[in-house]
Every structure is written in structure tokens, then in C-alpha cells.
Amino acid sequence: MAEHDSNRWQALQARAINTLWRCLSGWSLAALWRAARLLGPAVYALSKRERRVTHLNLDVVYPALSVKKRKALARKSLCHSAATMLELGHAWLAKPEAVEAHILEVHGRDKLDSARAEGRGVIVLAPHFGNWEVLNFWLSSHFPFTAMYEPPKIEELEPIIRHGRERMGASLVPTNPRGVAALLKALKRSEAIGILPDQEPSWGSGVFAPFFGRGAYTATLLPKLVARTQARVVTGVALRVPGKGFAIHFLDADERVYSDDDATSATGVNASVEASIALAPEQYQWEYKRYRKVIEETQGVENVKGYRLY
């Protein structure tokens, strides 16, 4: 009975979320930004978890900022996170020509074009910054593009999410060895693939590397892909121009990402993410627990006072 009730509740949630996304897909970006400016302060005031994690992360990353400035940055960040959620309907369901029209600028496309002209694939590091679904839309509209995909916890949401991400031609592959094999094949065909560089991997799939000076458990998939394909690595973000659209930026990755040493490559990945965040720190998703895993856990210590952040 409990399982039945849980499934029924998930189905109701999925229908409500689907309806909301479809409704919001018809809103202008200006209206969505106005809504985000109302929703962000509400999240800050009412969601203890989001507020707390955001502040803890900003304390680590920007210790030189005054408490007042960090608080202001936290508020802005939650507004942008709210905007990203509200814009999902636009990115996934609005007419493609409408989404394309709101991509105001593209900087660094030549980095992708030149790599493919040389017969090399391109690995795009796409951190949780700005609106990464708009970045996926643009990449899959202009290049053969493959990305890993993990189904949502609410199973009923999968069709709309998958449709939104695949509708411009993206190929989604599972987060397992079969998916990795598909990424390798795409790179060997001189295509583009996307990797989330700031998502914490499971134990055994990463190493600790500095992220803004503090050790963060970072995936080690990248050096394996580079070593076998000689692909070029760039960081890609869709910077929000509030109420107007997006400016896509492709930045050269830190040279250390090409190292065959896992720790060195992971350090380069995190440095690349840091460089993209510098474009507009308020647009990064600071409410994510990037420092959840700690080095002491690998030594069997579950809680170290003064070291664990969350």
C-alpha cells in the first residue's frame, strides 16, 4: 500500500511539473526573470538547506569578501538558480527558432570548429553555471553531440526531459561503461561530447583535487578519454543576460587537463570550472554540495570535527 501511494504521489508530481513546464514555455524570458527575482528571495528565506549550503560554499570560495557581500552574492545566486528551473520549459519545449533567437552571442566557436577540422573530437566541460540546458540546445543544434544521461528520480518525468535534451539531435548515453564506450566512439568520429565536471562521482571514480583551494572529489573520466582520442578540451557555458537571453562562451581548458595523471588532470578540470565561474560568480549553482566527500572518509573516519563542511 505504501509503495502504491508513493507511486501515485510521484505520478501526481510529474503531471504538475509537466504542466508547469509547458505553461512556462510560453512565457517571455523577461517574465521568467521577474518570476525568478520573486522566487529567489523566497527560497533564501524559507529553504534552510539551500541557504545554508550556499553560504558554506561561498565562505570557502570567497573568504576575503565581507559577510555582507557574501550574503548579497548568495541571494543573487539563488535568483539565478530559480531562473534556471523556470527556464527549463523554454529550453526544452519552446519552438527551436525562439530558443535560438535568444542566444545573443557565441564566443569561441572557432575552438570547436578548428579541432574538428583537424580530425579531433571536442570534450565540452559544462559546469552548473548559467543555463546549461540552453548550452545543450546550442551544441546539439550545431554539432553531432553526445552526453551522458541519468534518468530522474521521478520516473514519469523522463519522457519530457529526454525529449527536451534530444530534440535537436543530441545522443544521450547511460552513465555506465556502455556510455563511456559511446563517448569514445563519438570522439573518434571527431564529434563533440559533454561532461559535467563539477558533479561529485561515486567512490572509486575520482580523486581529490583543489577547487578554490579546498579538496573536492573530482571524476577521473576525462584523462582516459583524452589519452585514447587526443580530443581537445574546452569549457562551455550559457551565461544568462537577465530577461533578454544568453551569451555562450567556450573557453580553453586549463592545460593540466591533458595530463595522464589523474590528480593533475582533475586539478586542471577544477581550474577550468573556476575560470568559467569568474565570468559571473552569481550564476554558479552554489547550493550544490561540492565538498560533500572528505579525504578522511577514505580512511574510515565518518566525521571529523572542523573538517567536514556540510
55-97 confidence digits (pLDDT tens): 999 999 999 999 999 999 999 999 999 999 999 999 999 999 9
Helix axes 48-61, 67-86, angle to 10 degrees: 120
- Evaluate if pTM is beyond 0.85: yes
CA distance 42 to 180: 40
pLDDT at 278: 98
pLDDT at 304: 44
With 90 as the cut, is the pLDDT of residue 121 above it? yes
Give residue-wise pLDDT tens across range 47-57. 999 999 999 99
Q: Give the 3-state secondary structure of residue 306.
A: coil
Residue 193's closest CA among 116, 108, 264?
116
**What count of residues does the chain have?**
310
Pairing of strands 192-195, 122-125: parallel
Provide the pLDDT confidence category of residue 134 given band limits of 50, 70 and 90. very high
CA distance 102 to 115: 26
pLDDT at 196: 94
With 80 as the cut, is the pLDDT of residue 300 above it? no
